[in-house]
Amino acid sequence: MLPVLDEAAAGRWCRAAVDALSGARGRLDELNVFPVPDGDTGTNLLLTAEAALAALDAAGEGESAWAVLARGAVLGARGNSGTILAQVMRGLADRLAGAPPADGPAFAAALQGAAETAYAAVADPAEGTFLTVARAGGEAAVAAVAEGRSGLAEVVRAAADGARVALEATPGQLAVLREAGVVDAGGAGLCLVLDALVTTVTGVEPARPALVRRRAAGDAGAAAAHRHHHHGDRDVPHQPPAGPGSEVQYLLAGTDEAAVARLQTRLAGLGDSLVVVGVDTPTGREWNVHVHVADVGAAIEAGIEAGRPYRISVTPLAPVPPAAPVQGARAVVAVVPSEGLAALFAGEGVFVVTCGPEGVTEEDVLDEVLGTTAAAVVLLPNDPALTPVASRAAVRARELGREVAVVPTRSPVQGLAAIAVADPSRHFGDDVVTMAEAAAATRWAEITVAEQEALTTAGRCQPGDVLGSAEGDVVVIGPDPATVACELLDRLLSAGGELATLVIGPDHRLGDAACAHLSSAHPTVEVVRYDGGAAGVPLLVGVE
């Protein structure tokens, strides 16, 4: 039982929230009918929470965990509900970052304040939504303190219980929820986040009923509820503009509060579901802008006039359903870190997802899997950090009728080994096993350059040192890429090997030196060389 919520506990709370949202993502997506029934609320909340956690995992010492989590959430927020969740996190950080660990009264005040700032971030707030549930949670926490139940555990339980009561009431506040027989999806996600807080503080997970569809408005009970709660036109939420419409979202830098205020006014006239959230970053204040509009160009132009928009995404609000899978068709989808490798894999008949500077998302992988139209798909993540992303995309693809298997390749060279033995004439399961065996039998290594001082398995490295890693562990440190590459190849081939696959980055001279060394020191080893590797990895090696 935690008496106070310190920064370490904040990180554990975020991790627990990610786990909870991950487990409930599909159910939350199914509940999503407001502001548009695009079935992505659970996914957007999860991606936002994951962005916050990733920022914390990557942060150095000296900065408040609350501030880091808020910045990660705001800069990585996805969709309407995700952006509002990010604003709640930013509101908590405004009050808790740099302050002593929060006891019950301090957290109650922070949660209530965070709910108020979330309302302020939404241009046209509607009741019966995420905002309503957030406000109820804050009010319940403050009420518990006023009643003398001021211990942290009592406060967080009161917040979670108050939010859940408000969630159950949302169908009586929004007709679209009532007619669909659902509670608000964003509010349901926030309840899971607050329940994760209860678990973090008390060690006991709250027992809650499952999130499922209720009776639709056509039955007698719901009709009676409709009559009881109807208050005329003011209860009808302001809907997105006529026409198909799109969700536009971008980050905005190089601006100021006055320009953002003008942007909000302009976007409010263009569309709906407008949420603008600002956060301080090491390079200045930035904003996450989210809006539903019919005129995508005008929304982006407004951002250009206000500052420097980047990471722009445009998603149709009425998504086209994926094409039906072609029975008997096979495909391989690979995630790769560079355009050169993308061309290499594509040349082998593989569908490719290329990682940009911000990495790759579950949605990116899922879209590529569905875009193949194949009934059976093998996924190659080619990076241990991306295996969970590929696995989640595979689960969702299976729900949509695809047969998908993830071969957990840890490097692009393992992916190339898997592709080399793929045979569509085999039974799909047998082919997957063969590809997995080929990947596992391929020892992999890489050359990188240290960005900061660190203690590695080969000793301490300094910024600029060349690192040679085998199977993810640093085994060679040196000043010269060619020297490190040759020693790395010797270590890798000391255990034997008949085929060495080299993927060369931008410096072709390094590839020449590596090939020359193999020719002289290991003349019996067959060498296959590919150019076009990622700039950050001068050399990739696979040995079979």
Q: What local confidence, expressed as pLDDT, does residue 180 receive?
A: 77
Q: How far is CA 156 from CA 81, 84, 150, 479, 482, in A?
A: 22, 20, 10, 53, 57
CB atoms within 10 A of CB 105: 17
- 417 close to 399: Cβ distance less than 8 angstroms: no
Alpha carbon distance 505, 291 (integer Å): 40
Cβ burial, residue 256 (10 Å; 0-12/13-18/19+)? exposed
- Show the CA angle centred on residue 249, arms to residues 244 and 252, nearest 5°: 145
| Banded model confidence at residue 37, pLDDT cuts 50, 70, 90 | low
Alpha carbon distance 321, 45 (integer Å): 22
Q: What local confidence, expressed as pLDDT, does residue 323 receive?
A: 62
As beta bridge partners, residue 279 has 286
| Banded model confidence at residue 38, pLDDT cuts 50, 70, 90 | low
> Strand 246-253 to strand 539-543: parallel, antiparallel, or no bridges (unpaired)?
unpaired
Alpha carbon distance 115, 131 (integer Å): 7
Beta strands of 464-538 (E only): which ranges? 466-470, 473-478, 499-504, 526-531
The two structure tokens encoding residue 400: 């949509």
Category of 238 on φ-ψ map: left (φ > 0), alpha (ψ -120 to 50) or beta:
beta
Domain ranges of the chain: 7-235, 246-316, 326-440, 443-543
Residue 299 pLDDT more than 50? yes
Closest alpha carbon to 133 in 153, 115, 110: 115
The dihedral over CA atoms of 14, 15, 20, 24, expressed in degrees to the nearest 10, equals 90
- Flag the least confident range among 89-98, 350-359, 402-411: 350-359
CATH architecture of 443-543: 2-Layer Sandwich (3.30)
Alpha carbon distance 197, 137 (integer Å): 12
Alpha carbon distance 489, 443 (integer Å): 11
pLDDT in tens, 246-256: 889 999 999 99
What percentage of the chain carries pLDDT values higher than 90? 65
Alpha carbon distance 44, 70 (integer Å): 16
pLDDT in tens, 483-532: 999 999 999 999 899 999 999 988 889 999 999 999 999 999 999 998 87
- Flag the least confident range among 318-332, 398-412, 444-458: 318-332
| Banded model confidence at residue 230, pLDDT cuts 50, 70, 90 | very low
Asked: is 326-440 a CATH 3.40.190.10 domain? The reply is: no
pLDDT in tens, 339-356: 778 878 888 889 998 886
**3-state DSSP: the chain helix, strand, coil percent, rounded to 5?**
50, 20, 30
Quick check: pTM over 0.95? no
The two structure tokens encoding residue 397: 């693809």
Nearest-Å Rg of the Cα atoms of the chain is 26
Average pLDDT across the chain, whole number: 87
> Strand 374-380 to strand 326-336: parallel, antiparallel, or no bridges (unpaired)?
parallel
- Flag the least confident range among 186-200, 436-450, 526-540: 526-540
Alpha carbon distance 20, 22 (integer Å): 5
The dihedral over CA atoms of 237, 241, 246, 251, expressed in degrees to the nearest 10, equals -70
- 118 close to 85: Cβ distance less than 8 angstroms: no
Residue type, 110: A
Task: Give the DSSP H/E element, type plus range, for residue 313.
Answer: strand 308-316
| Banded model confidence at residue 182, pLDDT cuts 50, 70, 90 | confident
User: How many CA atoms are closer than 13 Å to the CA of 300, on its beta-carbon side?
Assistant: 12
Class of domain 7-235: mainly alpha
CATH number for the domain whose boundaries are 246-316: 3.30.70.1710
Alpha carbon distance 191, 16 (integer Å): 13
Closest alpha carbon to 36 in 46, 24, 44: 44
Q: What local confidence, expressed as pLDDT, does residue 225 receive?
A: 32
Residue 228 pLDDT more than 50? no
